[in-house]
Chain A
Amino acid sequence: MLTNERRQVGRAVPRIEGPLKATGRAAYAAEHSEPGLLHGAAVPATIARGRILEIDSRAAKVAFPGIVAIYTHENRPDAAWLDRSWQDDTAPPGHTYRPLQNDRVLFDGQPVAFVVADSFENARDAAALIKVIYERDVPETDLSAKLAERYEPPKKRNGISPPPEPRGKPEQAFDEAHVTISADYFIENEHHNPMELFATTVLYGEDGSLTVYDKTQGSQNAQKFVCNVFSLKQDKVTVINAYVGGAFGSGLRPRHQLFLAVMASLDLKRSVRFEMSRRDMFYLSYRPAMHQTVSLAADAEGRLTAVMHDTVQATSRYEDYQEVVVNWSGLAYRCDNVKLTYGLAKLDAATPGDMRAPGAASGLFALESAMDELSYAAGLDPLELRRRNFVHFDQNENKQLTSKALRACYREGAARFGWERRKPAPRAMREGHELIGWGMATGIWEAQLQSAKARVRLSANGQVIVQAAASDIGTGTYTILAQIAAEALDVLVEEVSVQIGQSDLPETSVEGGSWTAASSGSAVDAACLAIRQRLLDLAQKDKASPLKEATVEEVVIRGGHLRLDVDPKASVAISELMARAGETAIEEEGEVGPDAKQMKKFASYTHSACFVEVRVDEELGLVRVTRVVSAVAAGRILNPKTARSQILGGVVMGLGMSLHEESMIDHRSGRIMNHNLAEYHVPAHADIHDIDVHFVQEFDNKASPIGVKGLGEIGICGVAAAVANAIFHATGIRIRHLPITIDKILAGDKTPTDRAA
């Protein structure tokens, strides 16, 4: 537990790096420079499958004398041969894509050449003049045409649980049930599109060392990748990601801008920057298309008697990318007859990647839409149906839960939303041309703790430095680490300097999965505890110390003093302790990791209840989301301000998923056609009304040492289903295919327009 319950933790502290960001002083990956810096640009493949026959760079070289190098598969400098050298901490099983490796084109937009020139414009414009001649194969990019070729991934992805074995007799229970529903749900590819362009700036040192500013969610993951792929010693490579302009999972794996920039820098012995174009980013990573079938059965009281959930998810030809999609359906509600199945289908596309609540955002769309359908079939209020099926343990793994305040989410969320005023029948609420609908859904995400270290330094003058190789991708990491240290050491947040985002700082896993606050926060807390222990040891060297008999649990740090918690008079000045020991500062490391013993018995999840109001102009097919209440149970809330923002962000991305986002592929060519922010629509200001975020109290002393469960993903979980359910309530039209665009509302329950060829 946190060593000091006073003041800083739980306070709505404005983010400490806010002034730097708001004044343009925070420097991102492409914003580091030095004289003579070279600029790179990639030539993207314009086919989705085939071979490169010829690359003609003559015109580029004639037009641009400023070209320093052009790399293709024919002249790429050597890099590691073994797959494992290319596999980073988050890689799925398979053969990791290697830029410029050979003449094969595996996906639309694959970089087939890399130009390095003296200026950004010259690199970009020379790249445009490079002509590539291909031998085209017929690409297969349409998941719906590949369902029959589904397969179970032969090798499990690290950290991703395959579906549990079936339990009970789900088929039989379904056939015998009082009420059943079964339906198919679809989602299309969605792209992360963080606002910052992916970029790497490599500064080449005189001694051949590299300082690499990379857009990544893990500086050490990127550093290991660079060292493995280029056979470099760890001490020659420092990766820095002090500011990351959003990532949402797209920055977990090292991306090809890192490889290409480092490759060119090593080859040319020059500093090189490669900043991708927005179009390039459509070829990196995406939430994969899925086809899901959910079958639910219930008894006369609405208790679930069977749950079956099957998913076929797109992956690439070269990697078995996996998410946890269907498992949620086995643990969200009480049910003894469950069958969960999950398969992949290979497409001629880049490997998909984790995108905010990977698996859960998609899987819960299907499950929670199906629960809504069941509620109408059973004649029950959708919220009541969920309450009746509440479960207090993890039936998939037969484990206890560390905590689950979901009932409070239902209760408090419903009260804030005014759910009790809902008229049960669809099409019952109207204002002007608009039908009004209220829908809800449950959200779940895993609360995880990863191994993490942190170093804390307390100076005699009360200044504190916190160090860890953690990342802040907009999540508030800087701020909450400062708060934790400030509270433990009883200083002001302003007196804490947080140094993160650099690979030579204490070891931390990638920033993802909502685990950073719990993991790095606990590590900082542990380091502060170690400082307290050191101070106590120093105090106890003095035979006359008032703390002579005290244990570390009995002492606290208050106002620059170490003292007994119960007796303020039994106190020693920290400056005096340090002076006596001849020190000006005390520095300690803290370390945390998952507790294997506890994990055998307990599972830990965050939960939410999401309530949505839509207004649907049925004649015009226009949907507006006018109210959202997201009630979240996520353990301890370190900072209500930044925590709320995390949920807001999840909800907004969930609204994009519901109504706008789809990467449109021309399946004849296998190419993404709306590869820009004008035609790939993310929500704009006008789309987003006020969103009410509510944290219910949840005390959890097992999820992590500081009681935190994490917030990055839970905000998006359930949102798409809540929107689809609200649209059904408004109109009586059930849309099972995201995004819910005008054409789908106009088509009503009919099969929606097939967008592509």
Chain B
Amino acid sequence: MKRFDYLKAGSVAEAVSALAAHPKARLIAGGTNLVDLMKYDVEAPGLLVDINGLDLKRIEESENGTRIGALVTNSDLAYHPGINRRFPLLASALLAGASPQLRNAATAGGNLNQRTRCYYFYDTATRCNKRQPGSGCDAIGGVTRIHAILGASDSCIATHPSDMCVALAALDAVVEVEGPNGRRDIPILDYHRLPGETPERDNTLSPGEMVLGIRLEGEASPRHHTYLKLRDRLSYAFALVSAAVDLKIEDGVVRRARVALGGVAHKPWRDLEAESLLVGRVPSADATDAFIARLLSGAKGQGGNDFKITLAERVIRRALRQAAAGTPQLQHEKAIA
């Protein structure tokens, strides 16, 4: 761990100005990802800005929607009665991630900004464009079990590891950020980005911007949803493939379909055009096939992760069935309905 200065921020303004003034400043909240990366020397902030004292710990519910403060812990969010009533998909995805101890410390804002689990990103003896721009990517052609099948580039094949963000993507969340130029909203689908030539950038935050909270509008389906996660052991492991599904079904017909995939790309993967193939139809194998064909049309394996294309297909199929049937996966229930 490199040595750093420490600042306990007393206000959002102070945190933002510290971020803006120090190019090597990082915010710390739960610490579950940043401290981990600092110990591996993957992250080496010059200034650590502790935002735990800020008033960003509330979940506010109104008629229009729900606002989640950036410092709400994953546990508080997952067990919040309002979230369970309005956005059970989000609660379920949260409980699929990490462990109770990590969820008790990790925050909503930190989860949005968590970094990839790519073995090569984590191992400073390898070349990694995300860790060290321009150095190359040793993951390509290497051990690629956990890597991307969608949206990867010649520079980076890493995936985003979050479960929460997959649900947020399916729920069309909005990320509220504040920076030197004031506040702005970023739709979740624009928040995370594909690696392209600049994989060092995980998201579209501008320098000096910080996350204040996450907004969810209205209510999601109370019944027709699921978060289905497949991994290499039954708990406490990152997704090989996961799917978050939220369906609005009226009179047996799908009126709205939102499906996001985790573990497959540099960001939670959604394809709005593909989703339109599910809308206006009764849930059926045909519609599902068309949807999957479209959603995964660009899928490409890296060798060690080729199986994830088949797995993704099947996870989507099962998740859509669960959501349509109104039998969402319970995260402690390991038989998959």
Contacts and interface: CB of A to CB of B under 8 A. Distances in A.
So, do A and B actually touch in the complex, CB under 8 Å? yes
Interface of A: 46, 63, 121, 124-125, 128, 432-434, 615, 617, 619-622, 624, 659-660, 664-666, 668-669, 671, 673-676, 678-679, 681, 683-687, 741-743, 746-747, 753-757
Given A125-B1, A624-B334, A684 B120 contact: no
A621 B41 contact: no
Interface of B: 1-3, 41, 117, 119-120, 122-123, 125-126, 138, 141-143, 145-146, 230, 232-238, 240, 303-304, 306-307, 310-311, 314-315, 317-318, 332, 334-337
Contacts of A746: 307, 310-311
Nearest to A624: B334
A684 B146 contact: no
A433 B337 contact: yes
B230 A673 contact: no
Contacts of B145: 664, 743, 755
Given A46-B125, A432-B337, A679-B119, A684 B143 contact: no
A170 B126 CA distance: 50
A665 B145 CA distance: 12
A723 to B, nearest CB: 14
Given A679-B117, A681-B233, A757 B303 contact: yes
A434 B337 CA distance: 9
Contact of A687 (B120, B234, B336): B234
A673 B119 contact: yes
A686 B3 CA distance: 38
Contacts of A742: 230, 232, 240, 307, 311
B123 A673 contact: yes
Given A434-B335, A620-B314, 12 more contacts: A433-B336, A617-B336, A622-B336, A624-B334, A666-B142, A686-B334, A742-B232, A742-B240, A747-B307, A753-B306, A753-B307, A756-B142
A668 B141 CA distance: 9
A125 B3 CA distance: 9
Contacts of A668: 141-142
Contacts of B335: 432-434, 615, 617, 624
A414 to B, nearest CB: 25
Contact of B318 (A124, A619, A676, A683): A619
Q: Which 10 A-B pairs have the closest CB atoms?
A: A46-B125, A686-B235, A743-B307, A673-B119, A686-B234, A666-B142, A673-B143, A664-B143, A684-B236, A681-B233
Most buried by B among A46, A615, A673: A673
Nearest to B237: A681
Contacts of A754: 303-304
B230 A124 contact: no
Contacts of B317: 619
A742 B120 CA distance: 23
Contacts, number: 116
A183 B272 CA distance: 48
A684 B232 CA distance: 11
A436 to B, nearest CB: 11
Given A742-B232, A753-B306, A665 B143 contact: yes
Most buried by A among B138, B317, B335: B335
A674 B119 contact: yes
A666 B125 CA distance: 13
B336 A124 contact: no
B136 to A, nearest CB: 13
A63 B318 contact: no
Contacts of B315: 620
Nearest to B36: A678
Contacts of B235: 684-687
A659 B126 CA distance: 28
Nearest to A46: B125
Contact of A128 (B41, B122, B126): B41
Given A121-B1, A433-B337, A622 B123 contact: no
A753 B337 CA distance: 27
Contacts of B138: 666, 669
B233 A683 contact: yes
B87 to A, nearest CB: 24
Given A673-B143, A753-B307, A681 B232 contact: yes
Nearest to A44: B125
B111 to A, nearest CB: 16
24 contacts: A124-B1, A128-B1, A615-B335, A619-B317, A620-B336, A664-B119, A664-B143, A665-B143, A668-B142, A669-B126, A669-B142, A671-B125, A678-B117, A679-B146, A681-B237, A683-B233, A684-B235, A686-B235, A687-B233, A687-B234, A742-B240, A754-B304, A757-B141, A757-B303
Most buried by B among A666, A741, A747: A666
A91 B122 CA distance: 34
A686 B233 contact: yes
Nearest to B38: A125
B3 A63 contact: yes
B125 A755 contact: no
A557 to B, nearest CB: 51
B318 A753 contact: no
A433 B230 CA distance: 15
Contacts of A757: 141-143, 303
Contacts of B311: 620-621, 742-743, 746
B283 to A, nearest CB: 17
A699 B232 CA distance: 42
B226 to A, nearest CB: 13
Contacts of B125: 46, 671
Contacts of B143: 664-666, 673-674, 755-757
Given A624-B234, A741-B232, A673 B336 contact: no
A619 B313 CA distance: 10
Contacts of A743: 145, 307, 311
B19 to A, nearest CB: 24
Nearest to A617: B336
Nearest to A121: B1
A622 B230 contact: yes
B114 to A, nearest CB: 13
A26 to B, nearest CB: 22
A621 B230 CA distance: 9
Contacts of B238: 678
Contacts of A676: 122
Nearest to A674: B119
A316 to B, nearest CB: 21
A553 B136 CA distance: 78
B99 to A, nearest CB: 9
A686 B119 CA distance: 24
Nearest to B141: A757
A625 to B, nearest CB: 10
Contacts of B236: 684, 686
Contacts of A63: 3
Contacts of B234: 624, 684, 686-687
Given A433-B336, A620-B336, A673-B142, A756 B307 contact: no
A373 B57 CA distance: 59
B335 to A, nearest CB: 6
A622 B241 CA distance: 12
Contacts of A659: 233
A677 to B, nearest CB: 9
A617 B228 CA distance: 13
Contacts of A687: 233-235
Nearest to B98: A678
Contacts of A622: 230, 336
Given A684-B235, A754-B303, A757-B303, A620 B141 contact: no
A756 B142 CA distance: 6
Contacts of B141: 668, 757
